[in-house]
Amino acid sequence: MDRRVKPDDDGDKRVTIVTKAAVIGGGVIGAGWVARLIENSIPVAIYDPAPDAKAKIQAVLDNAERAYAKLTMAARPKKGEIVWASSAAEAVKDADLIVEAVPERLDIKHKVYAEIETTAKSDAIIASSTSGIMPSDLQEGMKHPERLIVGHPFNPVYLLPLVEIVAGRKTGPLTVNRAAEFYASIGMHPLVVRKEIEAFIADRLLEAVWRESLWLVKDGICTTEELDDAIRMGFGLRWAQMGIFETYRLAGGEAGMRHFLEQFGPCLKWPWTKLMDVPELDTELIELISGHSDAQSGHLSIRELERIRDDNLVAIMQALKQNDWGAGKVLAAYESKLFDAGAAKEAEPDWSQPIRTTERHIPPDWTDYNNHMNEARYLQCFGDATDAFMRMVGVDADYIASGLSFFTVETHIRHIDEVKSMEPVYTLTQVIEGKGKRMRVFHWLYHGKGHLLATGEHMLIHVSLETRSACEPAPEVAEKLQHIAELHAALPAPEGLGRAVGQPR
């Protein structure tokens, strides 16, 4: 059955809202789900009977905190609360999303589902993180199998956007659509697998590469490090942004995929690989591979390797974001959502006073060798404050997509004090001018403890993105901006307003 996301049979187009989640199983994958969920303000109830579960989950949360500090320039939402439950039944009460991340044994999963169904809400989505078990097999014995899907993520769950959604024979189409909608809302790329199959899509590809890798090491062709170099120095970089088919389309030259298949297709019949054979993982092979692996990266702890991995993933996704491509395109959409959410806070600000526009902790990579924030990042803080204020007056992603925006034409920054990595800061913004095509704002950057770090003054002009020429804002934007400007005109002029470089105090 074709399980792609499509309009629901009953016409139900309600927005999926997850106000509470439950995670059953606190291993690497379960902990990764906890990190991604709480990062998106979703409270999570956890159940894991292992005595060291809390320590293991905390280690993953620490890594996630470090990675998210660098992942996006948007203000991060308030973290969701974590509650530890004494049973699976207790954890899933009132949960809209239930993540099952227990060991890959069907009998254990069936036992967990039986307990879950004693207290779970009737419309809760139950998502198994299994790497390969068929969802129809998972559904056997369930009272409400229509609400179960496979939501298969990739480690680290808090960073990698892909989640494979696989429906079983009894899964309702509404469950698939709601799950896909939810995963997209937390910065993921939901890939709905068209037909139920063991190991789904990505793991089947990985298994093929893994099998051949084991043979190459076993037969003495290469070490584990040399094999990893073949991937990370070559086709792995291409795969990270184009996958396999688009990569080979380019290999076909101007004639594209058709020429590639005609030219290289015959070699697929050559006996190059051993994909249908599996080397026996006897003691000798296990020791050989383990020895190679220890020589390759045994000098680093697992925590150190995880952080190196996360730093590299953040850098790759940020680079792809600049080109609006692949995983970077998903990150850009998520970041835009965070910026817009920051401008649409529940509490309406007091427009008659300077407006708190941003709050953040200084990311580690914003600092210099002295661990102080470097000069360029002061401009980043003020640019983000301007962007946040623009969203407050209606210049959000939809407005910009319509072809209109404000462009900064002049900036003046005064550097007053230092701030270190991971210290809290916030900005206050006062509108100096907001009429017609011109917007002039004054920002204060404060340390979380309250002392002033810097001030920034920006002059902006409203433009058409099509002509790149100045034009009048949309009426609703102009009206709101002018209203705030009139209120702020009653405030004292900020100290430093209109200063030039080197001007005496």
Model pLDDT for residues 450-481, shown as the tens digit of each residue = 999 999 999 999 999 999 999 999 999 999 99
- Per domain, the residue ranges of the chain are 21-200, 203-299, 346-488
The whole-number average pLDDT for the span 25-34 is: 97
β-bridge partners, 356: 428
Q: Are the C-beta atoms of 232 and 316 separated by less than 8 Å?
A: no
pLDDT computed for residue 227 by the predictor: 97
Model pLDDT for residues 77-117, shown as the tens digit of each residue = 889 999 999 999 999 999 999 999 999 999 999 999 999 99
The SS3 call for residue 163 is strand
The whole-number average pLDDT for the span 392-402 is: 92
Amino acid (one-letter) located at 479: E
pLDDT computed for residue 2 by the predictor: 43
CATH 3.30.460.10 matches 21-200? no
pLDDT computed for residue 155 by the predictor: 95
Q: Are the C-beta atoms of 424 and 361 separated by less than 8 Å?
A: yes
105-119, 221-235, 277-291, 358-372: lowest mean pLDDT where?
Answer: 358-372
The SS3 call for residue 201 is coil
Q: Which tops the pLDDT comparison, 368 or 6?
A: 368
| Largest distance between two CA atoms of the chain | 81
pTM exceeds cut of 0.85: no
Percent of the chain with pLDDT over 70: 95
- What are the angstrom distances between the C-alpha of 55 and each of 24, 88, 504? 16, 19, 56
* CATH superfamily of the 346-488 domain: Hotdog Thioesterase (3.10.129.10)
Ramachandran region, residue 498 (left: φ > 0; alpha: ψ -120 to 50; beta: rest): left
Q: What is the CATH number of domain 203-299?
A: 1.10.1040.10
Average of per-residue pLDDT values in the chain: 92
pLDDT computed for residue 344 by the predictor: 55
CA end-to-end span of the chain, whole Å? Answer: 74
- CB count, 10 Å around CB of 347? 5
Which two tokens mark 129? 């993180």
Q: Parallel, antiparallel, or unpaired for β 82-84 and 148-152?
A: unpaired
200-214, 255-269, 424-438: lowest mean pLDDT where?
Answer: 255-269
Separation between Cα atoms, residue 19 and residue 78, nearest integer Å? 14
Model pLDDT for residues 306-363, shown as the tens digit of each residue = 999 998 999 899 899 988 999 999 999 998 888 777 655 546 789 999 999 998 888 8
Model pLDDT for residues 177-214, shown as the tens digit of each residue = 999 999 999 999 999 999 999 999 999 999 999 999 99
Q: Reply yes or no on whether the pLDDT at 7 is more than 50.
A: no
Q: Are the C-beta atoms of 204 and 194 separated by less than 8 Å?
A: no
Model pLDDT for residues 149-180, shown as the tens digit of each residue = 999 999 999 999 999 999 999 999 999 999 99
Among candidate residues 263, 453, 479, 458, the one with its CA nearest the CA of residue 377? 453
The whole-number average pLDDT for the span 375-379 is: 94
Amino acid (one-letter) located at 20: K
